[in-house]
């Protein structure tokens, strides 16, 4: 009786742990659009030298996916059956990095080709007598170390999504597909390989990657891939803040942040990487949604135009509505405006640092941009000149323009500073002189009266 009750549970468990069925397809050159002319010469050199050394070598991952979609990838990764140590012996210009996942970086000038060794599912791999030295999991099922090596088939099912598990080889210039990735590219679907719940437990960042790829490629997320995300988003709390910082940069500084944001909100993942921003959007604070969307639109455009973008600016924009709300709260509690602004910035930065680490050079840049928002309003006397000479002036000025684009009425502040930059010294003096009286007029300090003579 007990066996009959337990057997279905065991079958269900075994089914979820069982590797996906492999249907190996080889797509010949005449049936795909990838040309060697669009592949980095450095990547081809790496593949050729590995082949000459007696090893297998394939272009794999996002590079293959993007080439099939007609894009021009910037990064190319190579997968091989050579161990990291064997790869390093072949390339003097290389070094092994990572402990959790050992990989090799082969450097050609400023270009780096990432070379990974085929991996295996260590739970199912019985060839390693001492697997604990090569792999480890946390109590939540997250992979802490994964350096069990296998072959191209096992490597394919260890990858995250089918569209990232396509292997291009210089042998007849064909593509090897073990997981249905070619079909999913045609269907424009993001589909995880294996059981979604288990794969997210292994690495919760895969949930962010699913959203990022869907936003970047304008793909839909497969139902079985999407459903567990709402239930398992809290697992992101187990990810080191430094790694989540890198993921935030990939989400919002890849040129498609405007498309990614709605998906992060749809799957309620924003709260784990930007808690203050998520709260501001949910509370519908004034100008929050419009400002953030404008910031991401501007950032996407700058990236597409190969213009410089800094994480300090992105974080400053994403957190600004929360800083303003916090400042208003502190002022209502009795703090003077300047002190309230400084304390509000500190409070919001501290809250963000609990989710993602941010290098000090970026937190300093954020706070300078926020501080300059108040200084840009105070333009009387020599203040405008001093503000204009500040190293962060241009970023703060762009920030003002963005706030106005989002619908905030700043009384023509952006236009005033535009004219100030475009005119000569005499013109700047006239602009300052025409600020008028009222709130913009320089306040006179009260004269100090002489103390009355002491009576003896």
The gap from C-alpha 175 to its chain's centroid, in whole angstroms, comes to 29
Closest CA to 63 of 111, 19, 113, 13: 113
Helix (H) or strand (E) holding 399: helix 393-405
Using CA atoms, how far residue 182 sits from 31, 179, 190, 224, in Å, is 11, 8, 11, 18
Cα separation, 285 vs 349, whole angstroms: 18
Query: Both tokens of residue 383?
Result: 């203040």
3-state secondary structure of 43: helix
What DSSP string runs through 74-95?
A: S--EEEESS-HHHHHHH-TTEE
Phi then psi for residue 136, to 5 deg, are -160, 150
* Catalytic positions, written as ranges: 75, 77, 160
Separation CA 168–CA 174 (nearest Å)? 6
Q: Which two tokens stand for residue 104?
A: 């090799």
State both tokens at 365. 């840049």
Name residue, tokens 């105070």. 378
Mention every residue, 6+ apart, whose C-beta is less than 8 A from residue 338: 374
């Amino acid at each position: 009786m007990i066996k009959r009750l337990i057997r279905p549970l065991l079958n269900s468990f075994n089914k979820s742990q069982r590797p996906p069925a492999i249907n190996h397809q080889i797509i010949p050159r005449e049936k795909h659009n990838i040309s060697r002319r669009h592949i980095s010469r450095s990547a081809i050199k790496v593949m050729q030298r590995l082949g000459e050394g007696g090893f297998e070598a394939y272009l794999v991952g996002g590079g293959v996916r993007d080439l099939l979609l007609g894009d021009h990838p910037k990064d190319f990764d190579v997968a091989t059956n050579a161990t990291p140590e064997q790869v390093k012996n072949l390339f003097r210009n290389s070094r092994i990095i990572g402990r959790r996942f050992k990989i090799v970086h082969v450097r050609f000038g400023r270009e780096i080709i990432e070379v990974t060794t085929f991996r295996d599912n260590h739970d199912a791999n019985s060839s390693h007598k001492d697997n604990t030295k090569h792999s480890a999991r946390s109590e939540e099922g997250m992979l802490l170390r994964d350096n069990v090596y296998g072959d191209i088939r096992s490597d394919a099912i260890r990858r995250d999504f089918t569209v990232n598990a396509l292997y291009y080889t210089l042998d007849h210039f064909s593509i090897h597909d073990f997981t249905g990735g070619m079909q999913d590219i045609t269907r424009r679907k993001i589909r995880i390989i294996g059981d979604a719940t288990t794969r997210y437990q292994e690495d919760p960042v895969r949930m962010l990657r699913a959203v990022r790829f869907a936003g970047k490629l304008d793909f839909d997320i497969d139902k079985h891939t999407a459903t567990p995300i709402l239930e398992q988003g809290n697992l992101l709390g187990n990810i080191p803040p430094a790694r989540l910082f890198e993921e935030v940069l990939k989400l919002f500084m890849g040129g498609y942040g405007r498309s990614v944001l709605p998906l992060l909100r749809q799957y309620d993942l924003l709260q784990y990487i930007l808690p203050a921003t998520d709260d501001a959007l949910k509370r519908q604070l004034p100008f929050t949604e419009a400002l953030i969307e404008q910031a991401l639109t501007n950032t996407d455009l700058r990236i597409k135009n190969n213009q410089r973008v800094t994480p300090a600016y992105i974080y400053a924009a994403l957190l600004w509505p929360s800083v303003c709300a916090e400042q208003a709260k502190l002022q209502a509690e009795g703090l003077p405006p300047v002190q309230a602004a400084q304390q509000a910035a500190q409070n919001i930065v501290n809250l963000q640092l609990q989710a993602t680490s941010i290098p000090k050079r970026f937190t300093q840049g954020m706070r300078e941009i926020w501080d300059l928002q108040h200084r840009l309003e105070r333009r009387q006397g020599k203040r405008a000149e001093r503000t204009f000479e500040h190293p962060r002036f241009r970023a703060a000025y762009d920030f003002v323009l963005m706030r106005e684009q989002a619908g905030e009425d700043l009384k023509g502040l952006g236009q005033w500073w535009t004219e100030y930059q475009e005119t000569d010294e005499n013109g700047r003096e006239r602009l300052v002189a025409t600020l008028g009286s009222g709130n913009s007029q320089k306040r006179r300090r009260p004269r100090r009266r002489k103390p009355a003579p002491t009576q003896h």
